[in-house]
Structure 1
């Protein structure tokens, strides 16, 4: 009996050490006026290679919590549409609860011509089963692609390859007007890069899908709701935008809508051109007993143009 007890304790010892090595990280985010910010995307990254570890949203008091977290060196990144991205200094986690540095997000500078004040929906709404991002109410989304808006939406993470995860979980279902987009990760990313945010009315983010969705949607659902004109008659909309960073980018599109009391017809088309690049610089030094055994130095630069055509009916 005593031998069995000893063996059980020995088997549980690694698990106990692992649990003791896990910590909780907590912190707060505010705006430039020191007011708490809700719905800020908080992501935790390893400081060594910037790999995403886990994420969460800030609450109404601007507080957030990340747990469990293994020992190591990390930094926190905070993003919210309409605000500059803020990153914390690196900090160490050593088996205890850690208070991360408080982060203050400054609003992005956006030049406005004529401003009209009118009643409108809030930028982010919370309902019983979803978060709603009202894209058309955000002036900073003007000229951006749908993928760029998703990058700054609550709970959503988009990596460098355009793969979309929700609360750190892969396998997210993306829908357009309640219809699932049956595209590969690369095809979906290219399509969303080519869609101007001006064509989207709102984004519905469902983190806990109901039973009406199949098991593949357990990671979450993102439903993109396009704009539809509710007025009777025939009308259209033409949009053009461009920009230049390291390379130029441009989008163009149009929407046509005919509505009568018994019939509604809608068609749209978007074209996008942009050029992306990846610049990966790695330097690693492997030592043993203080002596350098191996040095690994790599510098990769890849540029690739992207053209997309997106018809909508």
Structure 2
């Protein structure tokens, strides 16, 4: 009996060691051959482009993905100012797969003659946060706040516009020191309506300090707007229709008023419809195929 227990325990340890040794690693370079510091890298299934995992490169361009199952995958890398590169698909079987050094494609955008003046770097990595210096940056022209976050290092925006930092959901968003207390869909709508021309900087805090409560442990995004001394009232109104399994609709509006040193801001959003989310997983291991299906739905009504 004792020998059987020892054998079972040994097999369990072996199984866990094999599981945690399953990884994909590599180094990512920019088109000019320098390390792609803090680039956002995502791992996708080759057949349907479904996102499997996300990571970001360190200061040397190194990245890794762990706890993987055998399959055919491809990597997608994005760096603000460099664009996005999809790398050739590959097969992963087991153990640690080292992809070596990967280089991003050069951006197809060609600039004419420009005059360079002293400016802050677009991305600043500080001790406690990463700062995007959006103001006066040509890389951010014409983008919305959500599109800026989609290109920010360590930040991932999924197909449903949910924002996460280093794979952690429940990120808190602040605008000029005030927390935006909206549900995920309303927050995404507000960020889509906020243009880069309105933003000075964006702080990304992946490990919030003690001055934030426990609810912000997943990460903090703090958007600092440009100082606008122009008095007056402005706003926007948005309406969307979505057709999926069932039809859905959304309404959002923002109103800003400034008079001298006094400024006021108001926002309203609402959604109606039934949201469905279904996931199918086919896992193959040691000759066995495991089928798993998970589904959820939520209902929203006009308030």
TM-score normalised per structure 1? 0.69
Task: Give the distance between the partners of 2:213 and 2:230, measured in 1 at CA.
Answer: 38
| Structure 1 residues 205 and 105, CA gap change in structure 2 (3 angstroms) | farther
Q: Which 10-residue stretch deviates more, 67-76 or 186-195? A: 67-76
Is 1:122 matched up with 2:144?
no
CA contact (8 A) 2:35 2:61 kept: yes
Q: Name the SS of the counterpart of 2:36 in structure 1.
A: coil
Task: Give the distance between the partners of 1:215 and 1:12, measured in 2 at CA.
Answer: 39
Is 1:211 matched up with 2:206?
no
**Counterpart pick for 2:262 among 261, 265, 268:** 265
CA contact (8 A) 1:132 1:203 kept: yes
Q: Name the SS of the counterpart of 2:74 in structure 1.
A: strand
Aligned to 2:198: 199
CA contact (8 A) 2:200 2:226 kept: yes
* TM-superposition CA deviations, 1:252-297 (whole Å, max 9, x none): x9988666xxxx3346799xxxxxxxxxxxxxxxxxxxxxxxxxxx
CA contact (8 A) 2:33 2:103 kept: no
| Structure 1 residues 265 and 120, CA gap change in structure 2 (3 angstroms) | farther
**TM superposition shift of 1:140:** 2.4
Alignment coverage as a number of residue pairs: 248
Aligned to 1:241: none
Aligned to 2:282: none
| Structure 1 residues 53 and 125, CA gap change in structure 2 (3 angstroms) | same
| CA RMSD after TM alignment | 3.1
TM-score normalised per structure 2? 0.71
Aligned to 2:36: 37
CA contact (8 A) 1:25 1:98 kept: yes
Q: Which 10-residue stretch deviates more, 130-139 or 45-54? A: 45-54
**TM superposition shift of 1:164:** 0.7
Task: Give the distance between the partners of 2:216 and 2:265, measured in 1 at CA.
Answer: 28
**TM superposition shift of 1:87:** 1.2
Is 1:105 matched up with 2:105?
yes
